[in-house]
């Protein structure tokens, strides 16, 4: 016995959002093809999964499955329509002949089928970009991943490949810049509270105690730090190291004074305490800070793409341009991350007269330097 919907069910039906413009484009396209099946040849780039409505996609698949009749034969009877309906009902049992009649009535001009198909493809591109953006945000904030940086970069590659695919069908033209204003910068992911600040403090202290390796850490920049003050202090450290100056808590304090970093809230004693308790090695903490910055940038890109795709006024051309611009900053930090994660090549000084081995006498041996303390990654 069929259930009679109660007042609550009727209210839920009324609360459904109104159909989006693409719904009418899908109806008009399917109506055009039901009226004139031979127009199927003009929309070869369209696939069933491009439809946002599942039933519409199933019906389009049935149209591709059942051979199209000759126009004269189709005008005489409904044999082809019946075959399409019966085929589609295998996947969409609720589909009725009445709805096929509704689709036909929804088509203003069958000769505009190619235009309707372009609208369906464009909306599918928008939805797919939004899915890529959602996956990028999820990967950047998922603390359960064993190697979140690898996952995020794989998602970035998938997004870039899809943008390249879209660009082959939607060539850029003047006016391709998106109209959506930039979203406010989001808070970086992966718990940017005390854990992130502790890692930055440990880097500053360890780099002060072991400054010799700072010249190999050009992949880390002040902008990667969660706390701007820590980034400015790191800039002081690298400035001292580049000049070949002495590096210790006192010289770092003096450099910070010249950069106007000392305030009532951050006194000289605070700085001395900050850089006087080293643990591990600088590159270990530097990699953790850079990874956090990479994930934060990926999260920001995902949010930016979400804003772009949610704005229905943006065309596919504008979505492609805006997405690539958003990825530019992530690509830059990715290059630095790859330098940090790759082992540094062994460099050997050029062989000169002063460094060449003596011609006579037994070779001298020297003991290897003691290994530096390094935390396990």
pLDDT of residue 18: 85
Alpha-carbon distance 94 to 85, whole Å?
A: 11
**Is the model's pLDDT at 355 over the cut of 50?**
no
Contacts made by residues 15-20, CB under 8 angstroms, sequence distance 24+: 20/52, 20/123, 20/312
pLDDT tens digits, residue range 8-46? 444 444 566 788 999 999 999 999 999 999 999 989 789
Contact by Cβ (8 Å): 224, 293: yes
Buried b (16+ CB within 10 A) or exposed e, 172-203: eeeebebebeeeeeeebbbeeeeebeebbbbb
Q: Which of 167, 139, 128 is nearest to 298 (CA)?
A: 139
Q: Which of 123, 100, 132 is nearest to 32 (CA)?
A: 100
Tell me the pTM: 0.79
CA distance to 50, 51, 64, 185, 368, per residue, from 26 (Å) = 10, 7, 16, 37, 73
**pLDDT (average), residues 57-62:** 97
Q: Which of 306, 291, 274 is nearest to 340 (CA)?
A: 291
pLDDT tens digits, residue range 290-307? 999 999 999 999 999 999
**Is the model's pLDDT at 363 over the cut of 80?**
no
**Is the model's pLDDT at 358 over the cut of 60?**
no
pLDDT of residue 178: 77
Alpha-carbon distance 65 to 96, whole Å?
A: 18
pLDDT tens digits, residue range 193-228? 788 999 999 999 999 999 998 989 999 999 999 999
Alpha-carbon distance 208 to 48, whole Å?
A: 61
pLDDT tens digits, residue range 75-125? 888 999 999 999 999 999 999 999 999 999 999 999 999 999 999 999 999
pLDDT of residue 1: 39
Residue owning tokens 């970086």: 188
**Is the model's pLDDT at 6 over the cut of 70?**
no
Alpha carbons within 13 A on the beta-carbon side of 296: 19
Q: At what angle do helices 148-169 and 316-341 cross, to 10 degrees?
A: 150
**Is the model's pLDDT at 187 over the cut of 60?**
no
């Amino acid at each position: 016995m069929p259930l009679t919907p109660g007042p609550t069910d009727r209210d839920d039906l009324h609360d459904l959002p109104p159909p989006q413009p693409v719904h009418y484009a899908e109806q008009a396209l399917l109506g055009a093809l039901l009226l004139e099946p031979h127009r199927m040849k003009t929309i070869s780039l369209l696939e069933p999964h491009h439809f946002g409505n599942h039933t519409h996609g199933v019906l389009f698949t049935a149209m591709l499955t059942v051979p199209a009749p000759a126009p004269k034969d189709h005008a005489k009877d409904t044999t082809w329509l019946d075959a399409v309906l019966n085929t589609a009902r295998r996947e969409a049992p609720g589909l009725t002949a009445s709805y096929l009649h509704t689709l036909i009535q929804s088509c203003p001009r069958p000769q505009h089928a190619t235009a309707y198909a372009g609208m369906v493809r464009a909306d599918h591109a928008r939805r797919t970009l939004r899915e890529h953006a959602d996956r990028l945000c999820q990967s950047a904030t998922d603390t359960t991943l064993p190697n979140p940086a690898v996952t995020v970069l794989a998602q970035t590659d998938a997004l870039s490949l899809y943008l390249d695919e879209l660009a082959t069908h939607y060539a850029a033209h003047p006016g391709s810049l998106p109209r959506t204003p930039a979203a406010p910068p989001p808070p970086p992911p992966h718990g940017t509270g005390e854990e992130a600040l502790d890692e930055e403090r440990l880097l500053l202290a360890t780099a002060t105690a072991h400054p010799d390796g700072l010249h190999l850490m050009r992949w880390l920049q002040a902008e990667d730090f969660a706390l701007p003050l820590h980034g400015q202090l790191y800039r002081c450290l690298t400035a001292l190291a580049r000049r070949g100056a002495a590096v210790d808590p006192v010289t770092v304090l003096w450099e910070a004074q010249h950069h106007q970093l000392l305030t009532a809230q951050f006194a000289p004693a605070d700085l001395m305490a900050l850089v006087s308790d080293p643990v591990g090695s600088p590159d270990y903490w530097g990699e953790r800070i850079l990874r956090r910055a990479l994930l934060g940038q990926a999260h920001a890109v995902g949010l930016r793409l979400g804003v772009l795709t949610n704005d229905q006024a943006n065309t596919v051309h504008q979505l492609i341009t805006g997405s690539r611009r958003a990825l530019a900053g992530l690509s830059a930090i990715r290059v630095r991350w790859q330098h940090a994660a790759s082992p540094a090549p062994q460099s050997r000084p050029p062989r000169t007269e002063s460094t060449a081995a003596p011609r006579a006498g037994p070779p001298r041996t020297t003991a290897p330097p003691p290994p530096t303390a390094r935390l396990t990654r």
